[in-house]
Structure 1
């Protein structure tokens, strides 16, 4: 879903929903422009791409903060995993409706001419980023090999550093789950872009909403971890 959501946003505005390293750096460059150029001719404009990056950054963290509610319910409880995933679905649905109502195109012609410029599309950017932010914090709390569902740079580094990287004749969870995560990101991005060409951003986000609902229901049937009971032997003096 990270690749799927990022594909929709990047195609329209060249901003990532989940890559907040890039958005933060972009904002730092916007501040640096204030001090560039000859004296008295500083660039004081806050460009639309900078506004979109700021919107994504703020709403991403807002969505991640909602994930703290899971700490009250139990971050690995079925109730929270279902509820949190449904909230992600609602965010994605809200983004789909906002894009649809805006009536703006889905594909930008170039980086300096984003397809989305209206207030409604800013709302869509916010909801998409919030959904990925909540997804990221929930994945982190689950604490599995798939916990890094947003920042794939970390996964790539851990994969390259894995001591079992070239042991191809064995199934190794620490390595193979990272590979699966990277492949899922690629497939999600590919599917998102392919759908945009056929049905546009709003329709693509609508399909994304359905996928998130399926994920929510899926959590109700995922088997829990079996805690092995220690068998105590007879006490010795």
Structure 2
């Protein structure tokens, strides 16, 4: 009998030891939501990551509003990144969130300096939001939700053997898709607010919007996802783990 197309990818044959260990590890969780809470907590930077992401953008916007000098605003934003990075290194803590901020400032500086328009410093972020929106939509509609890969990557050995091993569990696919719809809504809101400001060349308002729609809005989205993960009771395919 031919298997339905929608379920075909959920029944791959067994793989190597890494996948087997990951499958066995799922026995520790009663529900898919519990599993995703555990895995997603490893990917978030907490309140400090939020501050480190917002400070360079806020510094850029405030400096531009005061001086209207593009290079000065970029230098101040870069200096903030350098100070935050130095603090992380002195404390011997994970600097990856500073690295994200540094990459963001560097890309923004490239766009803004190349065009000479301060508002172009915000163009990479908007393009990133648009790209993420398309990616989330496509992966959700094709039943390959992006959050499923968070579960996959969290198990490096299994991911190396079979990056799609998590798709064997329909519960993971379903809950991961629900989480993605929250981020889809967030990116729609971000673009709906920031694109008109960009077209109107409202640099100071763009800076404020980027900060407010950055970590604060993201934390609202995380709260919504948290509600899904706390209230949900989706079994982790008990028959498959038997």
If the length of structure 2 is used for normalisation, what is the TM-score?
Answer: 0.34
If the length of structure 1 is used for normalisation, what is the TM-score?
Answer: 0.34
Normalized per residue, the structure richer in helix is 2
